[in-house]
Amino acid sequence: MGVSQHESGLQPGPGAKRAASGARPGSTAVSVSGVSKTFWRDGRPTQALHDIELGIASGEFVCLLGPSGCGKSTLLHIVAGFIAADEGQISAHGERVTGPGVDRCVLFQSPTLFPWLTSRDNVLFGPRSRGLDNEETRGRADALLATVGLGDFKDHYPHQLSGGMRHRAALARALINRPRILLMDEPFAALDAITREQMQNFLLDLWQRERMTVLFVTHDVEEAALLSDRVCIMSPRPGRIVDIVDIELARPRDEALRDTAEFVALRHELRKRLASA
């Protein structure tokens, strides 16, 4: 695997407070500073996020790991621009986030394909909505569908695809816009174990080739360890980033990694830190 002892897979986190400036060298893709969010329902407040600091370098793969209900989705939706933070600032590639933008594409737990469109028309939705339907984009849509293994399913409707295929179609639909940042909200959580592993491997491959910035939300320790360069561990509500762990497993990573002693130890360590968060 190219990594010596299993200790080296894990570097102690530098601590949450340093995070905003703690993006790795290179340009900053996402910067979140001092973000808090409280939801009000029936006059009762739920504080979902408290003073979040997070910096993500361009091309970095960062996981948000935390228990269910700790505010991971809320943070992702704020970065996506779907909801506004009560306090704090978010910027993407230096520009303040004030709403959704094509530079940041979100993938949800359900693939949310448009059921009335074929896979190909789903992929073309983004360009068409911006009046960019031409020979070139159509060619790119076909190429992307082939990349995600749906070359023979271009004219199929979502209900005719399997769960994994739908997720791959959703990925192709996101990638056609060439987003610099992918925001993924537990995208594989609803899949069966085998399909989930396939999708994780597929994502590793894709990231290795494209090197886009990814913010990936999960509550699965193994998934976080396998995919990320850095894992941000969140505390239960109100969500705060309490620990940041650098994952220094060599890349490219693949299937075989899952069974190495190094990986198992890393998983164990992450689980321990999550429990004490």
Ligand X SMILES: Nc1ncnc2c1ncn2[C@@H]1O[C@H](COP(=O)(O)OP(=O)(O)O)[C@@H](O)[C@H]1O
Binding interface with Mg ion (CB under 5 A):
73
* Contact mark string toward ligand X, 23..42, x via CB under 6 A: ----------------x-x-
d(CA 173, CA 61): 20
H helix or E strand, kind and range, residue 145: helix 135-147
Distance CA 210, CA 157 (A): 27
Instruction: Choose the contact partner of 100 out of other proteins, ligand X, Mg ion, none; CB within 5 to 8 A by kind.
Output: other proteins
Could you give the residue ranges of the DSSP H alpha helices within 35-88?
72-80
Footprint of other proteins (CB under 8 A): 77, 80-82, 99-102, 104-106, 108, 110, 112, 114-116, 125-127, 129-130, 157, 159, 173-174, 177
Helix (H) or strand (E) run with residue 40 in it? strand 28-41
Residue 182 binding: pick among ligand X, other proteins, Mg ion, none (C-beta 5-8 Å cut-off by kind): none
**Inter-residue contact 162 to 150 (CB < 8 Å):** no
**The one segment of 64-72, 102-110, 169-177, 202-210 that binds ligand X by CB under 6 A:** 64-72
C-beta of 227: minimal distance to other proteins in Å? Answer: 21
Phi and psi at 185, nearest 5°, equal: -105, 95
Q: Is 70 in the site for ligand X (CB under 6 A)?
A: yes
Select the binding partner of residue 114 from ligand X, other proteins, Mg ion, none (C-beta < 5 to 8 A, by kind): other proteins
Rounded Cα gap, residues 31 and 252, in angstroms = 26
